[in-house]
Amino acid sequence: MLDVAATRALVGSRDEQLLDVIRSKFGDDLARDDDWFKSEIEDGAPTAYEALRAVESRAVSRMTPAAGPQVGEIF
């Protein structure tokens, strides 16, 4: 279940420590997402971690349209 408050806290937080915790705790899930979206990533979509980082830094608007699937997976 997604913790909505925690997810909202990530958006624009620029919290590198939180990203490190997410990467450590959910690394296998991120890798599985990257595998699932392999063809989209090859076409320019970000990896799962890159999508998380964009949300964390509010850089989502600067991402290519191909980013949609990965960023959507975060939410």
pLDDT at 53: 84
Q: What is the DSSP letter of 63?
A: S
> Domain range holding 40?
4-74
Q: For 14-26, how does the pLDDT look when each residue is reduced to its tens digit (9 = 90+)?
A: 878 888 888 888 8
Task: Flag whether pLDDT at 67 surpasses 80.
Answer: no
- Indicate whether 56 pLDDT > 70: yes
Which pLDDT belongs to residue 31?
94
pTM of this structure: 0.63
Show the tokens assigned to 62. 């600067």
> What's the number of domains the chain is made of?
1
Task: Show contacts of 28-31: CB within 8 Å, 24+ apart.
Answer: none
Specify the DSSP element, H or E, that contains 55.
helix 48-57
Residue 68 CA to residue 26 CA, distance in Å, equals 20
